[in-house]
Amino acid sequence: MAAQNGSILLIGLKSGKTYNVDTYFPDAAGTFLTFALTGAASSTSPNFLVLPEDCQVYDLSLTTSPTATNVTLYADNAPVVGGVIRYANQLTSLPNRQRFNIRLPKGAQFQGIQAA
């Protein structure tokens, strides 16, 4: 497979605002996801996102799986409980893909590292 673009949907816990974050999934295990709040994410986009408020990770979607098979989400350099996500379950073509209730605090540095 090749690198993919997709998105991560975050919901603000107090405001209810949705943050649809464009995400770039490189074509290799052991690499960071990159993020863009405006426009398309690419390999040169930042590999972290600082959360503007307490947020819930609600959805992650991509069109096809890159070479890596899953991602581990991190907040402030620590793995997030429940934050290992298998790409095969999160394809945009799956109308019933898993939704998440992963809560992250305001100001946390949010990242994702891919694994094989």
**pLDDT in the model for residue 1:** 60
- Answer whether 52's CB lies under 8 Å from 44's CB: no
**Number of domains the chain contains:** 1
pLDDT, tens only, 63-97: 887 888 999 999 999 999 999 999 999 999 998 99
Which one-letter amino acid corresponds to residue 68? A
What pTM was estimated for this model as a whole?
Answer: 0.91
Full domain range(s) for residue 108: 4-115
The token pair at 27 is: 């074509």
